[in-house]
Structure 1
Amino acid sequence: MNDTKQFSDRRSALDRVGALAASTRAARERRRPASPQWAAWGFLAPVTLYLALFYAYPLYRNLDLSLRDYTVRSFVQGDAPFTGLANYRKVFDDPVFAPALLHTVVFTAACLVFQYAVGLALAVFFNQNFRLSATLRALFLIPWLLPLIVSASTWSWMLNSDSGVVNAVLHAVGIGPVNWLTSPSWSLTSVIIANIWIGVPFNLVVLYSGLQSIPGSLYEAAALDGANAWHRFWRITFPLLRPVSAITLLLGLIYTLKVFDIIWIMTKGGPADSSTTFATWSYQLGFGNLLPAFGPGAAVGNLLVVAALVFGLIYVRVQRKQALS
């Protein structure tokens, strides 16, 4: 009888201990912080909100503008009729489309080639780590740090046909004045020169950072094998710098496609549309006339977005193939 009672008491004590442990475990679970998944969503929420407000919504509005016949009244009231692809057909049939497309391609290609070539040459030069190297690199960053309106205004003054310093130098060496900004033959060249000057520092900084990641032992081994400076650059520097070069060219392409400030301040796309690109043409259509054409202007802007997206997808595909190989 006593054994039975003791066993019962022990069992009830164990039950009480188990109940206490269960209640403690439940209390701990109630106090346990949110799962890592919810924490991750919490960190992603601000970025997602930012992208939705400043990227997704403007893209949606621009697409909506290009598919409707917006006027100033309908833009305010929001009752523009849906026209489908009519604005795109109007853009393609416009006589300005072909010259603007050609100028955009020439402007983008020339700026990319010269910005990258000059930036790479300067990066290799500064990679020698000579005296005053850091000071000179800092001075080369000035064009990149200046506001675009200041840079474009400075180049407008330098290339002025009557009082510009460039024509003054040409006159000093016996060359006649050039109408850099007012001649259809030179206006596009002028804005290309200005944009190259502004974009070189970015290429210099990124490519110089890529050069710093290449081990110096590779150059020492190549020098011991008898490789000259050109072979060391072509066989070591250029191949190992390829991933950095790819992202540099991609970012430069996206930036150059949408360059507006420099062209508008220097030439306003003229004279006679000789320096008009898609970026300036889109602005002219949407805001440069007394009767703005919001739909065609948005359509031209969407063509730029599609071009940047296509090149971005090509870059991602190439990078994925390189990673797999």
Structure 2
Amino acid sequence: MTLAGLALPAVVLMAVVNAYPVVYAGIQALHDGDLLNLGNFVGLANFRDALTDPLFWRSARFTVVFSLCGVFGSWLLGFALALMLKPNFPGKSVFKILLLLPWIVPIVVSSMSWNWLTATPDSLLPVLARDFGFGRVMFLADPTMAMITVCLFKIWISYPFMMMMMSGALEGIEPNLYEAARVDGANSRQQLRYIVLPMTARSTYIAWILMAMFSVNDFATIYLLTGGGPVDSTTSLIVLAYRSVFQDFRPGYGVAISFLMTGALVTLSIILFRQIRKANIA
């Protein structure tokens, strides 16, 4: 009781600090004001406008694609690297540090580096593509190539997080399980299927939930690399919400988009947490 009493003021303060912006944002979503004035009460009109806007659904589709690439692309690459780094070998620590660099380096530096590699016809990758006979490849000017480039960039900056999560999960598996499996005649593929994947499932689901949140709310990666272009091909919901609030001066509409995003994330989190309980690993 004493500890609870000491913690109560901090808990109340945190609740108030976090609750006020959410409540005020909810009020804004029900009005048609600007950045300075709350405006008139319009009810659910902002939500209706968002759900009937073709740009909203185009942004939602790209957000889904971007998030799937961020979650599963980075997980596959990170899990593969974690498996490779599991055995001890000379230089393992140095190699692991080098693999962590995309996560450690500030996003501004990373995005500028990728811009230098891809942005203009005279950049390194377009020149290499032209030299290999692929013609004039515009990585950030062509809508399809811009989407692919942004998704690859997301995988590149996210795989170190997945690698660390899965490395920790692999360290928690008892070596005796591998030895028993080898005695029973299980090969490496069977050990991966029947030991590694089930024993790391809890960490995998948690990593998926966290990376899904990171991806849906990832503003900097997209905005610094493409700004949402060309022709809105890489505009995600978070970029659309930002534009609505700070460029179109429609905070109610932008906040409504944010609430719709939050609802989708909460639903996804509930589904994945249920998967954890079904697997009996919670």
TM-score of the two chains, using structure 1 as the length reference: 0.82
Tell me the CA shift for residue 93 of structure 1. Answer: 2.0
Q: Is the 8 A contact 1:161 1:178 kept in 2?
A: no
Q: Is the 8 A contact 1:161 1:177 kept in 2?
A: no
User: 2:266, 2:85 → 1: CA distance?
Assistant: 34
Corresponding position of 2:94: 135
* Number of residue pairs aligned between Structure 1 and Structure 2: 282
Verify: 1:201 aligned to 2:135, yes or no. no
Cα deviation 1:208-227 (Å, max 9, x = unaligned): 00000001111112122222
Summarize the Cα distance change of 1:319–1:86 in structure 2 as closer, same or farther, 3 Å threshold.
same
Corresponding position of 2:64: 105
- Point out the structure with max Rg over C-alpha: 1
Unpaired segments of 5 or more residues in structure 1?
A: 1-36
TM-score of the two chains, using structure 2 as the length reference: 0.94
Verify: 1:304 aligned to 2:268, yes or no. no
Q: Is the 8 A contact 2:35 2:250 kept in 1?
A: no
With 146-155 and 167-176 compared, the bigger mean Cα shift is at 167-176
Corresponding position of 2:133: 174
Verify: 1:57 aligned to 2:20, yes or no. yes
Corresponding position of 2:123: 164
Tell me the CA shift for residue 248 of structure 1. Answer: 0.5
User: 1:324, 1:125 → 2: CA distance?
Assistant: 25
Q: Is the 8 A contact 1:157 1:163 kept in 2?
A: no
Q: In structure 2, give the amino acid aligned to 1:41.
A: G
Alignment of 1:31-70 (within 5 A): 37-53=1-17, 55-70=18-33
Secondary structure of the 2:54 match is coil
Percent identity, please. Answer: 29
Secondary structure of the 2:143 match is coil
Summarize the Cα distance change of 1:155–1:82 in structure 2 as closer, same or farther, 3 Å threshold.
same
Q: In structure 2, give the amino acid aligned to 1:299.
A: A
User: 1:323, 1:234 → 2: CA distance?
Assistant: 17
Cα deviation 1:195-234 (Å, max 9, x = unaligned): 1100000000010000000011111121222221111111
Corresponding position of 1:295: 252
User: 1:119, 1:237 → 2: CA distance?
Assistant: 14
Tell me the CA shift for residue 47 of structure 1. Answer: 4.2
Tell me the CA shift for residue 239 of structure 1. Answer: 0.8
Tell me the CA shift for residue 321 of structure 1. Answer: 4.1
User: 2:213, 2:36 → 1: CA distance?
Assistant: 34
User: 1:285, 1:141 → 2: CA distance?
Assistant: 35
Tell me the CA shift for residue 131 of structure 1. Answer: 1.4
Secondary structure of the 1:162 match is coil
Verify: 1:190 aligned to 2:154, yes or no. no
User: 2:199, 2:35 → 1: CA distance?
Assistant: 54
Q: In structure 2, give the amino acid aligned to 1:219.
A: Y
Summarize the Cα distance change of 1:317–1:66 in structure 2 as closer, same or farther, 3 Å threshold.
same
Unpaired segments of 5 or more residues in structure 2?
A: none
Of 265, 274, 285 in structure 1, the residue corresponding to residue 224 of structure 2 is 265
User: 2:254, 2:136 → 1: CA distance?
Assistant: 36
Verify: 1:316 aligned to 2:273, yes or no. yes
Secondary structure of the 2:259 match is helix
Secondary structure of the 1:74 match is coil
Q: Is the 8 A contact 2:130 2:137 kept in 1?
A: no
Summarize the Cα distance change of 1:47–1:123 in structure 2 as closer, same or farther, 3 Å threshold.
farther
Q: In structure 2, give the amino acid aligned to 1:297.
A: G
Q: Please, what is the CA RMSD of the aligned residues?
A: 1.8
Q: In structure 2, give the amino acid aligned to 1:311.
A: L
Corresponding position of 1:29: none
Secondary structure of the 1:185 match is helix
Could you say which structure has the greater relative contact order, defined with CA pairs below 8 angstroms and 6 or more residues apart?
2
Q: In structure 2, give the amino acid aligned to 1:50.
A: M
Verify: 1:116 aligned to 2:75, yes or no. yes
Tell me the CA shift for residue 324 of structure 1. Answer: 9.0
Q: Is the 8 A contact 1:66 1:299 kept in 2?
A: yes
Cα deviation 1:138-169 (Å, max 9, x = unaligned): 11111111111111121111112323222233
Summarize the Cα distance change of 1:315–1:41 in structure 2 as closer, same or farther, 3 Å threshold.
farther
Q: Is the 8 A contact 2:244 2:254 kept in 1?
A: yes
Q: Is the 8 A contact 2:126 2:139 kept in 1?
A: no
Tell me the CA shift for residue 315 of structure 1. Answer: 2.9
User: 1:155, 1:122 → 2: CA distance?
Assistant: 22
User: 2:275, 2:192 → 1: CA distance?
Assistant: 23
Cα deviation 1:163-183 (Å, max 9, x = unaligned): 322223323433323111111
Q: Is the 8 A contact 1:111 1:196 kept in 2?
A: yes
Secondary structure of the 1:222 match is helix
